[in-house]
Amino acid sequence: MFKALVVDKDDEGKTSASVKDLELSDLPDADVTVAVEYSTVNYKDGLCIGPGGGLVRNYPHIPGIDFAGTIESSSDDRYKPGDKVVLTGWRVGEAHWGGYSQKARVKAGWLVPLPDGLTTRQVMAVGTAGLTAMLAVMALEDHGMTQGHGPVLVTGAAGGVGSVATAVLASLGYEVAAVTGRPETADYLTGLGASRIVPREELTEVTRKPLEGESWSGCVDAVAGAMLGRVLKQMKYGTSVAAVGLAGGAAIEGALITPFILRGVNLLGIDSVMQPYANRVRAWQRIAKDLPMDKLEAMVQPATLADLPKLGADILKGQVKGRVVVDVNA
Ligand code: NDP
Protein backbone atom coordinates (compact mmCIF):
# COMPACT_ATOMS: atom_id res chain seq x y z
CA MET A 1 0.00 0.00 0.00
CA PHE A 2 1.19 3.56 -0.69
CA LYS A 3 -0.18 7.10 -0.49
CA ALA A 4 -1.10 9.44 -3.34
CA LEU A 5 -3.06 12.65 -3.89
CA VAL A 6 -6.09 11.51 -5.90
CA VAL A 7 -8.32 13.98 -7.73
CA ASP A 8 -11.80 12.73 -8.56
CA LYS A 9 -14.89 14.18 -10.21
CA ASP A 10 -18.48 13.69 -8.96
CA ASP A 11 -21.63 13.23 -11.06
CA GLU A 12 -22.13 17.01 -11.17
CA GLY A 13 -18.63 17.54 -12.57
CA LYS A 14 -17.21 18.94 -9.31
CA THR A 15 -13.60 17.88 -8.57
CA SER A 16 -12.10 17.13 -5.15
CA ALA A 17 -8.58 16.18 -4.12
CA SER A 18 -7.53 14.04 -1.13
CA VAL A 19 -4.69 11.78 0.01
CA LYS A 20 -5.66 8.11 -0.44
CA ASP A 21 -4.12 4.65 0.05
CA LEU A 22 -3.54 2.75 -3.22
CA GLU A 23 -2.09 -0.63 -4.25
CA LEU A 24 0.66 -1.16 -6.86
CA SER A 25 -1.98 -2.91 -8.99
CA ASP A 26 -3.88 0.41 -9.22
CA LEU A 27 -1.02 2.03 -11.20
CA PRO A 28 -1.15 2.19 -15.00
CA ASP A 29 0.87 -0.34 -17.03
CA ALA A 30 4.34 0.86 -18.11
CA ASP A 31 7.99 -0.30 -18.17
CA VAL A 32 9.33 1.18 -14.96
CA THR A 33 8.06 1.54 -11.37
CA VAL A 34 9.63 4.39 -9.40
CA ALA A 35 9.66 4.92 -5.64
CA VAL A 36 9.02 8.66 -5.75
CA GLU A 37 10.92 10.86 -3.30
CA TYR A 38 10.07 14.44 -4.35
CA SER A 39 7.68 16.22 -6.68
CA THR A 40 6.88 19.92 -7.07
CA VAL A 41 4.08 22.43 -7.68
CA ASN A 42 3.99 23.98 -11.14
CA TYR A 43 1.30 26.16 -12.70
CA LYS A 44 -0.09 23.16 -14.65
CA ASP A 45 -0.34 21.19 -11.39
CA GLY A 46 -2.58 23.93 -10.05
CA LEU A 47 -4.87 23.39 -13.03
CA CYS A 48 -4.82 19.57 -12.62
CA ILE A 49 -5.47 19.61 -8.85
CA GLY A 50 -8.52 21.78 -9.56
CA PRO A 51 -11.04 21.35 -12.39
CA GLY A 52 -8.38 20.12 -14.83
CA GLY A 53 -8.50 22.98 -17.29
CA GLY A 54 -8.71 20.53 -20.21
CA LEU A 55 -5.41 18.91 -19.22
CA VAL A 56 -6.74 15.91 -17.28
CA ARG A 57 -8.00 13.15 -19.58
CA ASN A 58 -9.61 10.73 -17.10
CA TYR A 59 -10.66 10.69 -13.44
CA PRO A 60 -9.67 9.53 -10.89
CA HIS A 61 -6.33 11.20 -11.57
CA ILE A 62 -2.96 11.64 -9.79
CA PRO A 63 -1.42 15.03 -10.70
CA GLY A 64 2.27 15.96 -10.41
CA ILE A 65 3.98 16.85 -13.70
CA ASP A 66 7.47 16.07 -12.40
CA PHE A 67 9.15 13.81 -9.87
CA ALA A 68 12.49 12.35 -8.81
CA GLY A 69 13.10 9.04 -7.11
CA THR A 70 14.62 5.55 -7.24
CA ILE A 71 13.83 2.77 -9.70
CA GLU A 72 12.00 -0.03 -7.88
CA SER A 73 11.50 -2.37 -10.86
CA SER A 74 12.19 -2.10 -14.58
CA SER A 75 11.52 -4.21 -17.67
CA ASP A 76 13.72 -1.83 -19.71
CA ASP A 77 17.49 -2.41 -20.04
CA ARG A 78 18.28 1.28 -19.52
CA TYR A 79 17.36 1.18 -15.82
CA LYS A 80 17.83 -1.23 -12.92
CA PRO A 81 16.49 -1.17 -9.35
CA GLY A 82 18.33 1.43 -7.26
CA ASP A 83 19.00 3.87 -10.14
CA LYS A 84 18.09 7.47 -9.34
CA VAL A 85 15.93 9.15 -12.00
CA VAL A 86 14.10 12.37 -12.87
CA LEU A 87 10.93 12.85 -14.88
CA THR A 88 9.56 16.05 -16.40
CA GLY A 89 6.99 16.44 -19.16
CA TRP A 90 5.51 13.87 -21.55
CA ARG A 91 2.08 14.84 -20.19
CA VAL A 92 2.74 12.85 -17.01
CA GLY A 93 0.50 14.31 -14.29
CA GLU A 94 -1.94 15.37 -17.04
CA ALA A 95 -2.83 12.44 -19.33
CA HIS A 96 -0.89 9.85 -17.27
CA TRP A 97 -0.77 9.46 -13.45
CA GLY A 98 2.00 11.64 -12.03
CA GLY A 99 4.30 12.36 -9.15
CA TYR A 100 1.96 13.23 -6.25
CA SER A 101 2.32 9.62 -5.19
CA GLN A 102 4.81 7.45 -3.32
CA LYS A 103 4.93 5.16 -6.39
CA ALA A 104 4.71 5.98 -10.10
CA ARG A 105 4.75 3.76 -13.18
CA VAL A 106 5.96 5.35 -16.42
CA LYS A 107 7.72 4.64 -19.73
CA ALA A 108 11.51 4.32 -19.42
CA GLY A 109 11.97 6.75 -22.34
CA TRP A 110 10.36 9.54 -20.30
CA LEU A 111 13.07 9.39 -17.61
CA VAL A 112 16.56 10.82 -17.45
CA PRO A 113 19.20 9.67 -14.96
CA LEU A 114 19.75 11.95 -11.96
CA PRO A 115 22.31 14.55 -13.13
CA ASP A 116 25.78 14.25 -11.58
CA GLY A 117 26.21 16.51 -8.58
CA LEU A 118 22.49 16.95 -7.79
CA THR A 119 20.30 15.17 -5.23
CA THR A 120 16.69 14.12 -5.92
CA ARG A 121 15.56 17.00 -3.73
CA GLN A 122 17.71 19.53 -5.61
CA VAL A 123 16.47 18.42 -9.04
CA MET A 124 12.93 18.86 -7.83
CA ALA A 125 13.74 22.27 -6.34
CA VAL A 126 14.58 23.07 -9.97
CA GLY A 127 11.74 20.96 -11.40
CA THR A 128 9.86 21.58 -14.64
CA ALA A 129 9.79 25.34 -14.07
CA GLY A 130 13.56 25.51 -13.60
CA LEU A 131 14.32 23.15 -16.46
CA THR A 132 12.19 25.40 -18.67
CA ALA A 133 14.04 28.49 -17.43
CA MET A 134 17.34 26.82 -18.40
CA LEU A 135 15.96 25.82 -21.82
CA ALA A 136 14.94 29.47 -22.30
CA VAL A 137 18.41 30.77 -21.40
CA MET A 138 20.00 28.20 -23.73
CA ALA A 139 17.69 29.25 -26.58
CA LEU A 140 18.54 32.93 -26.03
CA GLU A 141 22.26 32.11 -26.10
CA ASP A 142 21.80 29.96 -29.21
CA HIS A 143 20.29 33.09 -30.81
CA GLY A 144 23.24 35.30 -29.95
CA MET A 145 22.61 36.65 -26.43
CA THR A 146 25.91 37.40 -24.67
CA GLN A 147 26.89 39.25 -21.50
CA GLY A 148 27.72 42.94 -21.52
CA HIS A 149 25.03 44.24 -23.87
CA GLY A 150 22.57 45.59 -21.33
CA PRO A 151 19.96 44.12 -18.99
CA VAL A 152 18.08 40.88 -19.63
CA LEU A 153 14.44 41.07 -18.54
CA VAL A 154 12.73 38.27 -16.58
CA THR A 155 8.93 38.53 -16.22
CA GLY A 156 6.93 36.77 -13.51
CA ALA A 157 10.25 36.87 -11.69
CA ALA A 158 9.09 35.78 -8.21
CA GLY A 159 7.39 32.67 -9.66
CA GLY A 160 9.05 29.31 -10.36
CA VAL A 161 10.35 29.88 -13.90
CA GLY A 162 11.25 33.49 -13.13
CA SER A 163 13.19 32.68 -9.94
CA VAL A 164 15.39 30.08 -11.62
CA ALA A 165 15.87 32.25 -14.73
CA THR A 166 16.94 35.17 -12.54
CA ALA A 167 19.45 33.07 -10.58
CA VAL A 168 20.92 31.33 -13.65
CA LEU A 169 21.28 34.54 -15.68
CA ALA A 170 22.86 36.42 -12.77
CA SER A 171 25.34 33.62 -12.08
CA LEU A 172 26.32 33.65 -15.78
CA GLY A 173 27.17 37.34 -15.42
CA TYR A 174 24.11 38.91 -17.05
CA GLU A 175 22.58 42.06 -15.61
CA VAL A 176 19.03 40.96 -14.69
CA ALA A 177 15.97 43.23 -14.53
CA ALA A 178 13.26 41.31 -12.67
CA VAL A 179 9.60 42.20 -13.25
CA THR A 180 7.28 41.49 -10.35
CA GLY A 181 3.80 42.44 -9.23
CA ARG A 182 4.81 41.74 -5.63
CA PRO A 183 7.02 44.56 -4.29
CA GLU A 184 7.56 42.56 -1.09
CA THR A 185 9.67 40.06 -3.10
CA ALA A 186 12.30 42.69 -3.99
CA ASP A 187 14.84 41.48 -1.39
CA TYR A 188 14.28 37.88 -2.45
CA LEU A 189 14.90 38.75 -6.12
CA THR A 190 18.01 40.82 -5.44
CA GLY A 191 19.23 37.90 -3.29
CA LEU A 192 18.89 35.68 -6.38
CA GLY A 193 21.02 38.16 -8.30
CA ALA A 194 18.59 40.65 -9.88
CA SER A 195 20.25 44.05 -10.20
CA ARG A 196 17.00 45.90 -10.82
CA ILE A 197 13.33 45.40 -9.87
CA VAL A 198 10.74 46.52 -12.45
CA PRO A 199 7.19 46.97 -11.05
CA ARG A 200 4.69 44.92 -13.07
CA GLU A 201 2.44 47.91 -13.76
CA GLU A 202 5.25 49.61 -15.72
CA LEU A 203 4.84 46.94 -18.38
CA THR A 204 1.16 46.01 -18.38
CA GLU A 205 -0.39 49.19 -19.78
CA VAL A 206 -1.22 48.66 -23.47
CA THR A 207 0.14 51.51 -25.62
CA ARG A 208 -0.56 52.34 -29.26
CA LYS A 209 3.11 53.16 -29.91
CA PRO A 210 4.60 50.86 -32.56
CA LEU A 211 8.01 50.85 -30.81
CA GLU A 212 9.57 52.16 -27.58
CA GLY A 213 13.14 52.83 -26.45
CA GLU A 214 15.52 49.86 -26.87
CA SER A 215 16.00 48.57 -23.30
CA TRP A 216 16.55 44.79 -23.12
CA SER A 217 19.25 42.54 -24.55
CA GLY A 218 17.15 39.41 -23.97
CA CYS A 219 14.00 38.33 -22.13
CA VAL A 220 12.65 35.22 -20.42
CA ASP A 221 8.89 35.74 -20.40
CA ALA A 222 6.62 33.58 -18.20
CA VAL A 223 3.64 35.93 -18.41
CA ALA A 224 2.65 36.76 -22.05
CA GLY A 225 -0.55 38.89 -22.27
CA ALA A 226 -0.27 42.67 -22.28
CA MET A 227 3.25 42.49 -20.83
CA LEU A 228 4.71 40.55 -23.74
CA GLY A 229 3.20 43.08 -26.15
CA ARG A 230 5.02 45.89 -24.34
CA VAL A 231 8.28 43.98 -23.92
CA LEU A 232 8.56 43.15 -27.63
CA LYS A 233 8.52 46.89 -28.43
CA GLN A 234 11.34 47.55 -25.95
CA MET A 235 13.79 44.89 -27.16
CA LYS A 236 17.14 45.98 -28.58
CA TYR A 237 17.77 45.44 -32.27
CA GLY A 238 18.34 41.76 -33.20
CA THR A 239 17.63 40.35 -29.72
CA SER A 240 15.26 37.57 -28.63
CA VAL A 241 12.42 36.89 -26.22
CA ALA A 242 12.06 33.30 -24.97
CA ALA A 243 8.35 32.87 -24.23
CA VAL A 244 7.62 30.02 -21.85
CA GLY A 245 4.19 30.66 -20.33
CA LEU A 246 1.03 32.67 -20.11
CA ALA A 247 0.43 33.38 -16.42
CA GLY A 248 -0.81 36.84 -17.48
CA GLY A 249 -3.07 35.72 -20.34
CA ALA A 250 -2.92 33.97 -23.71
CA ALA A 251 -3.38 36.98 -25.99
CA ILE A 252 -0.45 39.23 -26.94
CA GLU A 253 -1.70 42.79 -27.24
CA GLY A 254 -0.42 45.89 -29.07
CA ALA A 255 1.06 46.86 -32.43
CA LEU A 256 2.81 43.57 -32.84
CA ILE A 257 4.45 43.38 -36.20
CA THR A 258 6.78 46.38 -35.85
CA PRO A 259 9.38 44.86 -33.46
CA PHE A 260 9.83 41.92 -35.82
CA ILE A 261 10.15 43.97 -39.03
CA LEU A 262 11.92 47.10 -37.81
CA ARG A 263 14.10 45.64 -35.06
CA GLY A 264 14.60 42.03 -36.18
CA VAL A 265 13.38 40.77 -32.79
CA ASN A 266 12.95 36.98 -32.43
CA LEU A 267 10.13 35.42 -30.45
CA LEU A 268 11.25 31.93 -29.38
CA GLY A 269 8.64 29.50 -28.03
CA ILE A 270 9.98 27.17 -25.35
CA ASP A 271 8.32 23.83 -24.63
CA SER A 272 9.72 21.52 -21.97
CA VAL A 273 7.04 18.85 -22.37
CA MET A 274 8.26 17.03 -25.50
CA GLN A 275 11.99 17.90 -25.30
CA PRO A 276 14.18 15.13 -26.77
CA TYR A 277 16.32 13.12 -24.34
CA ALA A 278 19.62 14.76 -25.42
CA ASN A 279 18.29 18.29 -24.81
CA ARG A 280 16.98 17.33 -21.37
CA VAL A 281 20.33 15.86 -20.38
CA ARG A 282 22.18 18.94 -21.71
CA ALA A 283 19.85 21.30 -19.82
CA TRP A 284 20.22 19.36 -16.55
CA GLN A 285 24.01 19.41 -16.94
CA ARG A 286 23.91 23.19 -17.44
CA ILE A 287 21.73 23.53 -14.33
CA ALA A 288 24.21 21.52 -12.26
CA LYS A 289 27.00 23.80 -13.54
CA ASP A 290 25.35 27.24 -13.72
CA LEU A 291 22.76 27.39 -10.92
CA PRO A 292 24.30 28.16 -7.51
CA MET A 293 22.87 25.69 -4.97
CA ASP A 294 22.64 28.31 -2.20
CA LYS A 295 20.38 30.41 -4.45
CA LEU A 296 18.31 27.32 -5.29
CA GLU A 297 17.85 26.64 -1.56
CA ALA A 298 16.65 30.23 -1.06
CA MET A 299 13.79 29.55 -3.51
CA VAL A 300 12.50 26.41 -1.79
CA GLN A 301 9.28 26.10 0.15
CA PRO A 302 8.82 22.52 1.53
CA ALA A 303 5.43 20.79 1.36
CA THR A 304 3.67 17.43 1.87
CA LEU A 305 0.95 15.66 -0.13
CA ALA A 306 -1.67 17.05 2.27
CA ASP A 307 -0.61 20.65 1.49
CA LEU A 308 -1.25 20.28 -2.24
CA PRO A 309 -4.92 21.28 -2.61
CA LYS A 310 -4.17 24.71 -1.07
CA LEU A 311 -0.87 25.17 -2.94
CA GLY A 312 -2.56 24.27 -6.25
CA ALA A 313 -5.09 27.06 -5.72
CA ASP A 314 -2.35 29.50 -4.59
CA ILE A 315 -0.17 29.03 -7.69
CA LEU A 316 -3.10 29.79 -10.01
CA LYS A 317 -3.52 33.10 -8.14
CA GLY A 318 0.19 33.95 -8.63
CA GLN A 319 0.76 33.69 -4.86
CA VAL A 320 3.53 31.10 -4.73
CA LYS A 321 7.06 32.44 -4.37
CA GLY A 322 9.92 30.43 -5.89
CA ARG A 323 9.66 26.64 -5.96
CA VAL A 324 7.57 24.28 -3.84
CA VAL A 325 9.26 20.92 -3.17
CA VAL A 326 6.86 18.16 -2.14
CA ASP A 327 8.31 15.38 0.04
CA VAL A 328 5.77 12.68 -0.86
CA ASN A 329 6.92 10.46 2.03
CA ALA A 330 6.62 13.12 4.76
P1 NDP B 1 4.29 30.67 -11.10
O2 NDP B 1 2.86 30.84 -10.72
O3 NDP B 1 5.24 30.14 -10.11
O4 NDP B 1 4.86 32.06 -11.63
C5 NDP B 1 4.16 32.90 -12.49
C6 NDP B 1 4.43 34.32 -12.08
O7 NDP B 1 3.84 35.19 -13.07
C8 NDP B 1 3.77 34.73 -10.77
O9 NDP B 1 4.51 34.33 -9.66
C10 NDP B 1 3.71 36.22 -10.93
O11 NDP B 1 5.01 36.73 -10.67
C12 NDP B 1 3.46 36.41 -12.43
N13 NDP B 1 2.04 36.64 -12.74
C14 NDP B 1 0.98 35.90 -12.34
N15 NDP B 1 -0.17 36.40 -12.83
C16 NDP B 1 0.17 37.50 -13.55
C17 NDP B 1 -0.56 38.46 -14.30
N18 NDP B 1 -1.90 38.39 -14.40
N19 NDP B 1 0.12 39.44 -14.93
C20 NDP B 1 1.47 39.52 -14.84
N21 NDP B 1 2.21 38.65 -14.13
C22 NDP B 1 1.57 37.65 -13.50
O23 NDP B 1 4.30 29.74 -12.41
P24 NDP B 1 5.56 29.10 -13.13
O25 NDP B 1 6.70 30.01 -13.03
O26 NDP B 1 5.69 27.69 -12.71
O27 NDP B 1 5.03 29.08 -14.63
C28 NDP B 1 4.87 30.31 -15.32
C29 NDP B 1 4.22 30.04 -16.67
O30 NDP B 1 5.10 29.21 -17.44
C31 NDP B 1 2.89 29.31 -16.59
O32 NDP B 1 2.03 29.79 -17.61
C33 NDP B 1 3.27 27.86 -16.86
O34 NDP B 1 2.21 27.09 -17.38
C35 NDP B 1 4.38 28.06 -17.88
N36 NDP B 1 5.31 26.96 -17.97
C37 NDP B 1 5.64 26.53 -19.23
C38 NDP B 1 6.52 25.51 -19.41
C39 NDP B 1 6.91 25.13 -20.79
O40 NDP B 1 7.41 24.04 -21.01
N41 NDP B 1 6.73 26.01 -21.75
C42 NDP B 1 7.06 24.78 -18.25
C43 NDP B 1 6.76 25.37 -16.98
C44 NDP B 1 5.87 26.41 -16.86
P45 NDP B 1 5.25 38.10 -9.86
O46 NDP B 1 4.45 37.97 -8.61
O47 NDP B 1 6.72 38.16 -9.65
O48 NDP B 1 4.75 39.20 -10.76
Report domain extents, the chain: 2-114+297-327, 126-269
Q: What's the pLDDT tens digit per position in 142-178?
A: 999 999 999 999 999 999 999 999 999 999 999 999 9
CATH superfamily, domain at 2-114+297-327 = Medium-chain alcohol dehydrogenases, catalytic domain (3.90.180.10)
CA of 222 to the centre of ligand 1 (A): 5
CA of 24 to the centre of ligand 1 (A): 34
Is the distance from the beta carbon of residue 170 to the nearest atom of ligand 1 less than 6 Å?
Answer: no
| Ligand 1: nearest atom to the Cα of 249 | 18
| Ligand 1: nearest atom to the Cα of 129 | 43
Residue with CA nearest ligand 1 atom 31: 245
Strand locations in the chain, DSSP E?
2-9, 15-22, 32-40, 66-74, 84-88, 103-106, 111-113, 152-154, 176-180, 196-199, 218-221, 240-243, 266-269, 300-303, 323-327
Residue with CA nearest ligand 1 atom 36: 245
Identify the band that residue 58 occupies on the pLDDT scale cut at 50, 70 and 90: very high
| CA separation for the pair 96, 194 (Å, rounded) | 37
CA of 87 to the centre of ligand 1 (A): 21
CA of 130 to the centre of ligand 1 (A): 12
Q: What CATH code would you report for 126-269?
A: 3.40.50.720
Asked whether residue 51 carries a pLDDT value surpassing 90, the answer given is: no
Least confident of 64-78, 152-166, 197-211: 197-211
- Predicted local confidence at residue 27, as pLDDT: 97
Q: Could you tell which of 39, 42, 128 is best to mutate to test the pocket of ligand 1, judged by most ligand atoms within 8 Å of the CB?
A: 42
CA of 71 to the centre of ligand 1 (A): 31
Kindly state the average pLDDT of the residues 109-123: 96
Kindly state the average pLDDT of the residues 116-124: 96
Is the distance from the beta carbon of residue 223 to the nearest atom of ligand 1 less than 6 Å?
Answer: yes
Residue 173 identity? G
Q: What's the pLDDT tens digit per position in 292-320?
A: 999 999 999 999 999 999 999 999 999 99
Share of the chain above pLDDT 70, in %: 100
- Predicted local confidence at residue 52, as pLDDT: 83
Kindly state the average pLDDT of the residues 109-125: 97
Kindly state the average pLDDT of the residues 201-207: 91
- Predicted local confidence at residue 208, as pLDDT: 84
Q: Could you tell which of 223, 253, 300 is best to mutate to test the pocket of ligand 1, judged by most ligand atoms within 8 Å of the CB?
A: 223
- Predicted local confidence at residue 254, as pLDDT: 73
Asked whether residue 54 carries a pLDDT value surpassing 90, the answer given is: no
Asked whether residue 256 carries a pLDDT value surpassing 80, the answer given is: no
Q: Across the chain, what does the average pLDDT equal?
A: 96
Share of the chain above pLDDT 90, in %: 93
Nearest to residue 8, comparing CAs of 92, 97, 90, 89?
A: 97
Asked whether residue 80 carries a pLDDT value surpassing 80, the answer given is: yes
**Whole-prediction pTM:** 0.96
- Predicted local confidence at residue 206, as pLDDT: 82
| CA separation for the pair 304, 302 (Å, rounded) | 7
